[in-house]
Each structure stands twice: as C-alpha cells, then as structure tokens.
Amino acid sequence: MEFTKALKHNMVKPFEGRASRSEFWWFFLWFFILGIGGTILLFVVFIGPIAASASMDSDAAAAGAAVGGLIGIIFMPILYMMIGWMALALICTSIRRLHDQNKSGWWYLIGLVPFVGGIVLLVFYCLPGTPGPNRFGPDPLQNTDEDVFS
C-alpha cells in the first residue's frame, strides 16, 4: 500500500479490517514526521521567542515574545488536537496490525511491560500476517476486485 492510501485509510476508517505491514509502517512514518514537525513548531513559535525575550532587555524582544505567544496560543490547541487524533488512529492501526496476524487487540497492552513489551510488539509488527481470511476479516494483501479475472 502506498503512502497516501495508507494515510487516508487510517485517518478516515481506522477501525476497519486488517492492516498490512506497509500500511502500518507508512502511517507510523507519517505520525513520526508530524510529531517531529509539531515539536519543532512548538519550539520555534512558542518557546523560542519567550526564551529569547528572557535573555534580552529590549522592547523588540518582548514584542516578539508576545506575538510568538499569541500565535502559539492560537495554533497549539489545533496542533494538539490533530496529534491526539493521529495517536488514536495509530493505536487503532496497531491493533489492526495485530489482527492481521490473528492476534487479539489485547496484545497491544504488552507494550506496557517495561523493555520487553516494546520489543515483543516490534517483532509482531514486523512479522507477516496470516495468509487468506482470518477471524478479523479478509487478507489486506489479496486483491478483492473480482472483475479482474472476468
């Protein structure tokens, strides 16, 4: 599955079906890029001007901090809501990835075990899914368009 298709499916329909490895890792990459971008934006727009104004005594620095703070107050809730929605979608996609291997979504909670849990989940995410349909739905790698052979 390509990047844009994985992103669209996981943002619009995060609870449907099973997730292939490519779909999961593309979405994880997008979430990672958004997290890094949000952190940089937080520092540059909100924290940076305030820190700069604390080290300077000029009125220009204070004005820059005020504008940066105002922009941060306006845009940060939007950014946090977007990251929150993507975090929920990432959890759903992780559970769908476990469903692709015919494992219950409760296996996601093994990630709460320090050190070992994250490694176990990483191994599960890298393993191929069960071929053909399983109790969680059809195989995401099989072509479901039956008109191809007609």
Reported as a single tens digit per residue, the pLDDT across 30-63 is 888 888 887 787 777 666 666 666 666 666 666 6
In this predicted structure, the answer to whether residue 96 has a pLDDT above a threshold of 80 is yes
pLDDT at 139 over 70: yes
Written as six digits, the tokens of 78 are 């939007």
| Domain membership flag for residue 38 | yes
**Within its chain, how far is the Cα of 61 from the centroid?**
36
Closest CA to 85 of 134, 43, 30, 138: 30
- Residue range(s) defining the domain that contains residue 36: 3-145
Q: How many folded domains does the chain comprise?
A: 1
* pTM (2 d.p.): 0.72
Q: Answer yes or no: is 70 within a domain.
A: yes
In a domain, 51, yes or no: yes
The answer to whether residue 150 is domain-embedded is: no
**In this structure, what DSSP letter does residue 71 have?**
H
Give the CA radius of gyration of the chain: 21
